[in-house]
Chain A
């Protein structure tokens, strides 16, 4: 149980284009989802927290207009990187909390590797 998937697993795009990454909780309803990114040889950095049906809360230094987060249902959250640039190339990872399981444990997706040319 508590499986989180991400799609796509990797994506290559041209500079200036937008990329959408999906995060799904497969066997539970996710009351809260998180988005992280990880640069090579660094640790995970939290970008934003989203609760279903409400606006995401962004961490300091993360541009909300560049990283659009939509959490329209209890099983799906999307992260859209708008006007991507090479410096946005990173490993993007989502996590979800299974509120129905009465736990605050975050379960992580497998990650999406974004390369911007």
Chain B
């Protein structure tokens, strides 16, 4: 029973265009969401987060949108750069419980 789903295993985008990575969740109690980025041979690194009291959080080229009614969040990267090529994990949590991760989406930004 997967509580956090990233239904697209991979995504290819041209350099300069927008990358949109999607994440769906089933537990309506989740109140905190995070995105992590992972390069090969490295550990995941935190990218951006959003609390359930917000519907948008922006940090430079990265914006996360949260649609609570649809139980959906998305990460927008604008403009996409070749260095953004990585695996992106969505994670969610509620209260004092551990993060639940999705399976990841591999983003390839083509020059």
A binds B: no
